[in-house]
Structure 1
Amino acid sequence: MRLPLEAHTDQPWRIHQLTPDFTVEDVWALPTPGGPGELPRLLATFGPGQPGGDPEEAFPAGAPPIVRFLWEARWKLGRVFGWDDEDGGLGGRVQTLRDRFPDDLREAPTGPDLGKLPFDPLYQLDDEWAAEMANRTVHGVLHLSWVPDGAGGYRGQMAVLVKPNGRRGAAYMAAIKPFRYLFVYPALLRLIERKWQATAAA
Structure 2
Amino acid sequence: MKLPNTAHTSRPWRIHEITPDFEVEDVWMLPTPGGPDAFPRLVSIMVSDAESDSFPQGAPFLVRCLWTARQKIGALCGLDGKEAAVGSRVPSLRDRLPSDLRRAKRGPDFTDVPLTSLYLLQDEWASEMANRTVHTVMHMGWVPDGSGGYRGQMAVLVKPNGRLGAAYMSAIKPFRSLIVVPALMRSIEREWRADGEQTHEPRYER
The two structures have a TM-score, normalised by structure 1, of: 0.93
Please give the residue correspondences for 1:68-83 in structure 2 after superposition, counting only pairs within 5 Å: 68-83=64-79
Q: Equivalents in 1 of 2:112, 2:65: separation in Å?
A: 15
Please give the residue correspondences for 1:1-202 in structure 2 after superposition, counting only pairs within 5 Å: 1-48=1-48, 55-57=51-53, 59-200=55-196
Query: Contact (CA 8 Å) 2:23, 2:157: kept in 1 or not?
Result: yes
Deviations 1:109-149, CA, capped at 9 Å, x for gaps: 12113443321111110000000000100000000010000
Secondary structure of residue in 2 paired with 1:56: coil
Structure 1, 177-186 or 39-48: larger mean CA deviation? 39-48
Q: Equivalents in 2 of 1:67, 1:114: separation in Å?
A: 22
1:72 counterpart letter in structure 2 = T
Classify 1:57/1:110 alpha carbon distance in 2 versus 1 (closer, same or farther; 3 Å).
Answer: farther
Shift of 1:37: 1.4
Secondary structure of residue in 2 paired with 1:24: strand
Secondary structure of residue in 2 paired with 1:133: strand
Shift of 1:182: 1.9
Shift of 1:56: 2.6
* Unpaired stretches in structure 2, ≥5 consecutive residues: 199-206
Classify 1:60/1:121 alpha carbon distance in 2 versus 1 (closer, same or farther; 3 Å).
Answer: same
Across the aligned residues of Structure 1 and Structure 2, the Cα RMSD in angstroms comes to 1.6
Q: Equivalents in 2 of 1:112, 1:64: separation in Å?
A: 28
Structure 1, 190-199 or 117-126: larger mean CA deviation? 117-126
Secondary structure of residue in 2 paired with 1:19: coil
The two structures have a TM-score, normalised by structure 2, of: 0.91
Instruction: Tell me the percent identity.
Output: 61
Classify 1:151/1:115 alpha carbon distance in 2 versus 1 (closer, same or farther; 3 Å).
Answer: farther
2:115 counterpart letter in structure 1 = F
Q: Equivalents in 2 of 1:153, 1:57: separation in Å?
A: 30
* Unpaired stretches in structure 1, ≥5 consecutive residues: none
Q: Equivalents in 1 of 2:50, 2:139: separation in Å?
A: 22
Runs of 4+ displaced beyond 6 Å: none
Query: Contact (CA 8 Å) 1:123, 1:131: kept in 2 or not?
Result: yes
